[in-house]
Structure 1
């Protein structure tokens, strides 16, 4: 019978073993908690960035859709400048308001003028013509369509004629 008591007591974990086991379980649960918390923080940051990108993309698409309207208004402004009538003044107010709204939403014009050295990274050459002088070879002769940036990304390259 004494042998049975020894076997039954040896099978029962001691208090120290139980404490050690519980501490191991606690550490394991703490580790799971910290990993889950870190994963949630990463998820929160990632979704925040994705949301910002979504707004930028939506803005980019809207700006792209409005560029042909802006081009038409630019052409109309050039025609109206020849005639200083009341129509010109009214149209100029509307044009300025429209352009300022686009600028306030991140649109900026890429400044290009005749005589600027052509750079394939920044300009789109739609044609090449004989340069009026040797000095104009490899330079922009005319700007056919303005280019625009939204933030720091090119929305549309300026379309230019290059001297050859």
Structure 2
């Protein structure tokens, strides 16, 4: 009986081993499937996190840009006043009234400095400079007084201005032809 029992036990062990092998294969495939699913979720999470980080950076930059140029409408509206001061100063210089010149000069300086504090800068252009479409607008062309002024600025009619390094008014110039 002991032989039969040993043989039965051996058969049972073999059957159990086959079942265990099947279960192990199923477990391995289940683990692989779960690993793939976990990897997909990780990738999706990383993409979402990167997208959100880019969104935060973009909105922060947009908000900063809006803040930098928020007062551009008001400053643009004041540019003709600056032009009027320049014209007035040229005319007052011709008169002999030094007190008037000093008073208007102080007001002009105060306005200019206030606007400079808000980020306004005049675009420096002089006769003889190369014509640059990024800073200037040619309002007319005239025959160049000399060969050196062909294609260059002959006269500056209206000063250009930049607000925080962004051109808000192009300088109006006459170019040589």
**TM norm. shorter chain > 0.5:** yes
Does the 8 Å contact 1:144/1:161 carry over to 2? yes
Distance in 1 (CA, whole Å) between partners of 2:39 and 2:140 is 71
- The structure with the larger Rg is 2
Q: Within the alignment, does 1:161 sit opposite 2:163 as a pair?
A: no
1:123-158 alpha-carbon deviations (Å, 9 max, x no partner)? 211112233x33354232221101112222222221
CA contact (8 A) 2:158 2:171 kept: yes
Which residue among 36, 41, 60 is the counterpart of 2:72? 60
Distance 1:107 1:31, change over 3 A: same
Runs (5+) with no aligned partner, structure 1:
1-15
* Shift >3 Å, 4+ stretches: 25-44
The unaligned stretches of length 5 or more in structure 2 are 1-26, 32-36
Question: Partners in 2 of 1:130 and 1:97 — Cα distance?
Answer: 39
Higher helix share: 2
TM-score by length of 1: 0.68
Please give the root-mean-square deviation of Cα atoms over the aligned residues, in Å. Answer: 3.6
Query: Alignment length, in residue pairs?
Result: 155
Deviation at 1:97, TM superposition (A): 0.8
Compared CA separation, residues 137 and 38, structure 1 to 2 (3 A): closer
